[in-house]
Chains A and B, each alone.
Chain A
Amino acid sequence: MSLFDWFANLRKNEPPVQKRQEREIADGLWTKCSVCSAVAYTKDLKNNQFVCLECGHHTRVNSDERIEQLVDKETWQPIGEDIRPTDPLAFSDRKSYSDRLKDYQAKTGLTDAVKTGTGLIEGLPIALGVMDFRFMGGSMGSVVGEKLCRLIETATDQSFPVVIICASGGARMQEGMLSLMQMAKISGALHRHQEHKLLYIPVLTHPTTGGVTASFAMLGDIILAEPKATIGFAGRRVIEQTLREKLPEDFQTSEYLLQHGFVDEIIPRTQLKKILAQLISLHQPISK
């Protein structure tokens, strides 16, 4: 079977998109799509993994929802949940970093911008990292670096594949060079994982930019992306400023990266679990 047939088959086998039903309107029960303006019953939207039932627009999902979508029920075991950020530089711009951290922690219920743990995906063990854009734009500081390193090291020890769902604006400037060095630190952990001939699949979601793109997002054995995500190294505005010209519409999208050879396939969210499980199963060591 060609790769093309393989993906075509998957699409065919995909459960049909649920039809929206007429329901009584109640506050908060309905969600309007920001792209096509279709109004969907929030529960239906959730059942469709927050992909618009009309136009297929992938709205943002938080780390808890993502884990629920990907990991088999009652198999999730978090790693490093008690690791918390500090304010190592006593950084303050218009607001102090400590205050910002407290605000985001209160608002999101998260400690920092990534959740890590192990679990099963259709019965197969994985080490999974899920970045959460709600926490300071998914920016990468010491905690993101440390949690991802521990995740990757656990995977290396236990011979697990690693999957990281990327969503990040890049480095966390409030931690200065400590933040930049996390790029090297995580790449080092991935090097050890790779030396053990273990599988690593990053999944690039909207947006994946800056230091995350220039480190673990681009180091997959296989790299997947969600449709129409923004993926790039330099910010679009920075490039526009240096060149003083408008950029093409599809510049730095998943589709653009696919076209230029930097992602392997674009996978709609509703098929992600299945594809990941299939890829992992294709890389299981052949029993002798």
Chain B
Amino acid sequence: MPKTERRNFLLDFEKPLCELEARIQQIRELADENQVDVSEEIAQLEARANVLRQEIFSSLTPAQRLQLARHPRRPSTLDYIQAITEEWIELHGDRGGSDDPALVGGIARLNGKPVVMLGHQKGRDTKDNVARNFGMATPGGYRKALRLMNHANKFGMPIVTFIDTPGAWAGVDAEKLGQGEAIAYNLRQMFSYDVPIITTVIGEGGSGGALGIGVADHLFMFEHSVYTVASPEACAAILWKDAKKSGQAASALKITSRDLKELGLIDRILTEPASGAHSEPLEAAATLKQNLRESIEKLSAMTPEARRKLRYSKFRQMGIFEQGEIS
């Protein structure tokens, strides 16, 4: 991505790094014009930029990670699908009267084998985002996902899903068409499938709307993605009675990939490029592809029975409580 374009979407904590990078560029140009050798100075500055990059991205607060997860330039479901598959045909509609552009899916060829891929789709710009409803799916979206997953199960294709949503759409029509029922039905049905299911949180995993396509054998999260029971903003408004406390809520809710790995809720963290997936989308896509390949190979070696058992016991052990007499 050109540097100027990147600056338009610059997050606060990215600024010092970006300024340094701009200065390096400036010195390079000046040196070129005046035919001076500054390679030593450049090397020094670049080393400093690397250290700075390391410092910034290794010590992000949960609120900053949330910003990265929502970064407008972060690769989306369709970006990843296009980058990692050899073939892709998008399929439309829930066969019940709607086709939700906020949840896309279809059939792809990945490493030579057909798979069904689906995920929440955010827009690339404001106009596209309005059309995609910011990745907030309606009941029609969840029923399209269900229909595609049933298809995968029928034809023995692995199911690969991508989570990237602030949450399921909260609107009058969504309620009228049974948003709760649509998500609930997917949760139960996903336990029934014989085929492997792999879910990756690529950006923002918001609540039940994320989980509605997230009952998987293997659950991955990109390093700077988040997965949360409620948006930190909503949580702050309800529990702190102050929406401005969303930073505190983001920390308290334990939404980062590292937190969720520690809690035993996800299987693997996918490492992102040094400045985040949006800085080097193709590098992020390569990481994703590699992990999906390994995962599909591993899961395909199991019997359907064993996969269903794995899926059940994986979710069955989630939860922390005490038991026995009070000592």
Q: Which residues of A contact B (CB under 8 A)?
A: 80, 82-86, 88-89, 91-94, 141-143, 145-146, 149, 171, 173-185, 187-192, 194-195, 210-211, 213-219, 232-235, 238-239, 242-243, 247, 251-252, 260-262
Partner of B188, one of A94, A191, A233, A247: A191
B229 at the binding interface (Cβ < 8 Å): yes
A219-B188, A232-B180 as given contacts; A88 in contact with B320, CB under 8 Å: yes
Contacts of A232 in B (CB 8 A): 175, 180
19 A-B pairs with CB atoms under 8 Å apart are A91-B252, A145-B319, A173-B229, A176-B229, A177-B265, A180-B229, A183-B184, A184-B187, A184-B318, A185-B315, A187-B188, A188-B188, A191-B188, A219-B185, A234-B168, A239-B175, A242-B170, A243-B171, A252-B175
Instruction: Give Cα A184 to B163, complex, Å.
Output: 15
Instruction: Give Cα A260 to B139, complex, Å.
Output: 14
Instruction: Give Cα A143 to B178, complex, Å.
Output: 27
Q: Which residues of B contact A (CB under 8 A)?
A: 168, 170-172, 174-181, 183-185, 187-189, 191-192, 207-208, 211-212, 214-215, 227-230, 234-235, 238-241, 248-249, 252-255, 260, 263, 265, 311-312, 315-316, 318-326
Tell me if B172 and A180 are in contact (CB < 8 A): no
Closest to B212 in A: A214
Tell me if B207 and A180 are in contact (CB < 8 A): yes
Contacts of A217 in B (CB 8 A): 180, 184
Contacts of A191 in B (CB 8 A): 188-189, 191-192
Closest to A89 in B: B254
CB distance from A64 to the nearest CB of B (A): 21
Contacts of B249 in A (CB 8 A): 93
Contacts of B227 in A (CB 8 A): 177
CB distance from A38 to the nearest CB of B (A): 32
Tell me if A233 and B230 are in contact (CB < 8 A): no
Instruction: Give Cα A270 to B170, complex, Å.
Output: 34
Tell me if A238 and B170 are in contact (CB < 8 A): yes
Interface of A is mostly: helix
Tell me if B179 and A233 are in contact (CB < 8 A): yes
Instruction: Give Cα A274 to B234, complex, Å.
Output: 41
Contacts of B238 in A (CB 8 A): 173
Instruction: Give Cα A82 to B327, complex, Å.
Output: 12
Partner of B323, one of A84, A182, A235, A238: A84
CB distance from A135 to the nearest CB of B (A): 14
Instruction: Give Cα A179 to B318, complex, Å.
Output: 9
Closest to B317 in A: A185
CB distance from B205 to the nearest CB of A (A): 9
Partner of B241, one of A85, A94, A214, A219: A94
Partner of A234, one of B179, B214, B263: B179
Contacts of B212 in A (CB 8 A): 214
A171-B230, A184-B211, A187-B188 as given contacts; A176 in contact with B168, CB under 8 Å: no
Q: A86-B322, A177-B229, A238-B234 are in contact. List 7 more A-B contacts (CB 8 A).
A: A85-B321, A86-B321, A89-B253, A180-B211, A192-B191, A218-B178, A218-B181
Contacts of B170 in A (CB 8 A): 233-235, 238-239, 242
Instruction: Give Cα A45 to B172, complex, Å.
Output: 36
Closest to B248 in A: A93
Closest to B181 in A: A218
Instruction: Give Cα A34 to B281, complex, Å.
Output: 59
Partner of A176, one of B189, B191, B253: B253
Instruction: Give Cα A214 to B227, complex, Å.
Output: 17
Contacts of B174 in A (CB 8 A): 233-234
Tell me if B179 and A177 are in contact (CB < 8 A): no
A178-B319, A238-B170, A251-B175 as given contacts; A187 in contact with B180, CB under 8 Å: no
**Quick one: which of B189, B311, B319 has the most chain A CB within 10 A?**
B319
Instruction: Give Cα A94 to B179, complex, Å.
Output: 32
Instruction: Give Cα A143 to B207, complex, Å.
Output: 19
Contacts of B207 in A (CB 8 A): 171, 180, 211
Partner of A214, one of B208, B323, B325: B208
A242-B170, A243-B172 as given contacts; A214 in contact with B184, CB under 8 Å: yes
Contacts of B234 in A (CB 8 A): 238
Tell me if A194 and B188 are in contact (CB < 8 A): yes
Q: List 5 tightest A-B contacts by C-beta distance, closest first.
A: A234-B170, A213-B180, A142-B319, A187-B187, A233-B180
Tell me if B315 and A184 are in contact (CB < 8 A): yes
Partner of B318, one of A94, A178, A235: A178
Tell me if B178 and A211 are in contact (CB < 8 A): no
Instruction: Give Cα A235 to B207, complex, Å.
Output: 14
**Quick one: which of A177, A180, A183, A219 has the most chain B CB within 10 A?**
A177
Instruction: Give Cα A83 to B240, complex, Å.
Output: 28
Contacts of A239 in B (CB 8 A): 170-172, 175
Instruction: Give Cα A178 to B185, complex, Å.
Output: 20
